[in-house]
Chain A
Amino acid sequence: MKKGVMRPGHVQIRVLDMGEAVKHYTELLGMIETDRDDQGRVYLKAWTEVDKFSLVLREADEPGCDFMGFKVVDEDTLVTLEKDLVAYGVEVEQVPAEELKDCGRRVRFTVPSGHAFELYADKKYTGKWGVSSVNPEAWPRGLQGMKAVRFDHCLFYGPELAAVYDIFVNVLGFDLAEQVLDPEGTRIAQFLTVSMKEHDIAFIHHEEKGKFHHASFFLETWEDVLRAADLISMTDTSIDIGPTRHGLTHGKTIYFFDPSGNRNEVFCGGDYFYPDHKPVTWQAEQLGKAIFYHDRVLNERFLTVLT
């Protein structure tokens, strides 16, 4: 049941070299740099996003993901969800407004898989980039590279999926859209949604805590995914796999790496979700096909290479 969490709002990714990273996310993915702060972090957004930023890059000596944030409908909801998390036994941390520029206060918590998440209600509304909100044109000129449409979701690897499920579903009001079950019926992958999308966040079971698999950005068409593949070759960017289709969610996809080794995905299509939909189940025995629908075999790198 919906509890007022609206959508993925931002992700903060650690990079080894800020210059290389900004070039990758702007010139290749086509995101727009919107600000920088005195910690040296760089803020970016995709053009259709209405808030000021969705991606924050932080230079560090180890790549990976610092946290992912979800926007909730309003401050009252934030207060309620914070209480609900605490009542559920989740430790929460207060991050004051403006810790991220032009973002309101954030409630941060870490789930048993070792990943940090945040809820927030306010961020500066800057509108879609390059188009007016009155009689808007179809798209703005001057977009670069893959012309990413929006930051879409993240996939995390870590243990204790059942406990993570309880927090996201029971406390935060996400729904389980797809899952992978092993022969004993244990859930080893969970794709969770808070919208009509097939996933807003996903987790795959993994012994080591807090690992980051990928951040994903939406494109409109399969043609755009092929064009992304061309750009990956043209720029000699490290490719992982694709273009191909997933069994899980049925999205059409390509995976590649940023210059610090963080995995990115751009994808299009995929199934949709309404709250009356029952979860789709993939059997672990079919995991090859669940992940890569065409190859139907697992790719070792896809399962084990993480930041």
Chain B
Amino acid sequence: MAGFQVFNRTTGDHFTCQEGQSVLKAMEQLGMKCVPVGCRGGGCGFCKIRVLEGDFECGKMSKAHAPPEAVEKGEVLACRIYPRTDLIIECVPLPEAALAKQTTTKPLR
């Protein structure tokens, strides 16, 4: 079968990603939720992951959420990476700003 296997080490999930498809889109299409989905455009930083093993191509990503230093370390946005090999990924804890957002929005419920 065509495509690449993506294994999420944090959650133990794995799914197939077709060539030319973003990791986030592949996950969403299979109804999985192991990476948070935001804008799907490399803009919001919600889908941040760390790639531990494997090769991929990168689309354009917001520098605020994927600065070059982080990309070097494999910290990328799942909506903007396209596997070239099988990948092993892990979830990256949301940055403080995002956590602050969540705590401020909680009392609103």
Q: Name A residues whose Cβ lies closer than 8 Å to a Cβ of B.
A: 16-17, 61-64, 180, 182, 188, 205-208, 238, 257-263, 284, 287-288, 298, 301, 303-307
- Let me know if A307 and B43 touch, CB within 8 A: yes
- Let me know if A301 and B63 touch, CB within 8 A: no
Q: Within 8 Å of chain A (Cβ to Cβ): is B101?
A: yes
Q: Within 8 Å of chain A (Cβ to Cβ): is B62?
A: yes
Among the listed B39, B63, B102, B105, which residue makes an inter-chain contact with A261, where contact means beta carbons less than 8 Å apart? B39
Which residues of chain B have C-beta atoms less than 8 A from A17's C-beta?
60
- Let me know if A61 and B42 touch, CB within 8 A: no
- Let me know if B40 and A238 touch, CB within 8 A: yes
- Let me know if A304 and B101 touch, CB within 8 A: yes
B39, B61, B105 interface centre (most CB from chain A within 10 Å): B39
Bound: A17/B61 CA distance, A: 10
Q: Within 8 Å of chain A (Cβ to Cβ): is B107?
A: yes
Smallest Cβ-Cβ distance to A237: which chain B residue: B40
Bound: A62/B41 CA distance, A: 11
Which residues of chain A have C-beta atoms less than 8 A from B73's C-beta?
none
- Let me know if B98 and A261 touch, CB within 8 A: no
Bound: A287/B60 CA distance, A: 34
Smallest Cβ-Cβ distance to B109: which chain A residue: A298
- Let me know if A261 and B38 touch, CB within 8 A: yes
What's the least CB distance linking B39 to chain A, in Å?
3
Bound: A307/B42 CA distance, A: 10
Bound: A63/B45 CA distance, A: 11
Smallest Cβ-Cβ distance to A212: which chain B residue: B43
Bound: A44/B62 CA distance, A: 23
Bound: A63/B37 CA distance, A: 17
Which residues of chain B have C-beta atoms less than 8 A from A304's C-beta?
38, 46, 98, 101-102, 105
- Let me know if A303 and B44 touch, CB within 8 A: no
A-B pairs, top 7 by smallest CB distance, nearest first, are A261-B43, A261-B39, A261-B41, A238-B40, A305-B38, A16-B60, A61-B63
- Let me know if A258 and B41 touch, CB within 8 A: yes
Q: Within 8 Å of chain A (Cβ to Cβ): is B97?
A: yes
What's the least CB distance linking A47 to chain B, in Å?
26
Q: Name B residues whose Cβ lies closer than 8 Å to a Cβ of A.
A: 37-44, 46, 60-64, 97-98, 100-102, 104-105, 107-109
Bound: A195/B49 CA distance, A: 45
Q: 8 A-B residue contacts at CB 8 Å? A: A182-B107, A261-B38, A261-B41, A262-B43, A301-B46, A304-B98, A304-B105, A305-B39
- Let me know if A205 and B40 touch, CB within 8 A: no
- Let me know if A261 and B101 touch, CB within 8 A: no
* Given known A-B contacts A304-B102, A306-B44, A62 and B39 have beta carbons under 8 A apart: no
- Let me know if A261 and B104 touch, CB within 8 A: no
* Given known A-B contacts A17-B60, A62-B62, A261 and B108 have beta carbons under 8 A apart: no
- Let me know if B101 and A182 touch, CB within 8 A: no
Taking A64-B43, A301-B38 as known contacts, 6 extra A-B pairs with beta carbons closer than 8 A to each other, sorted by chain A number, are: A63-B43, A182-B108, A257-B39, A258-B41, A303-B108, A304-B38
What's the least CB distance linking A185 to chain B, in Å?
13
Which residues of chain B have C-beta atoms less than 8 A from A62's C-beta?
62-64
What's the least CB distance linking A289 to chain B, in Å?
11
Among the listed B41, B100, B102, which residue makes an inter-chain contact with A257, where contact means beta carbons less than 8 Å apart? B41
Bound: A264/B47 CA distance, A: 19
What's the least CB distance linking A295 to chain B, in Å?
13
Smallest Cβ-Cβ distance to A238: which chain B residue: B40
What's the least CB distance linking A253 to chain B, in Å?
17
- Let me know if A261 and B100 touch, CB within 8 A: no
Among the listed B61, B101, B107, which residue makes an inter-chain contact with A207, where contact means beta carbons less than 8 Å apart? B101
- Let me know if A261 and B109 touch, CB within 8 A: no
What's the least CB distance linking A74 to chain B, in Å?
38
Which residues of chain A have C-beta atoms less than 8 A from B43's C-beta?
16, 63-64, 257, 260-262, 307
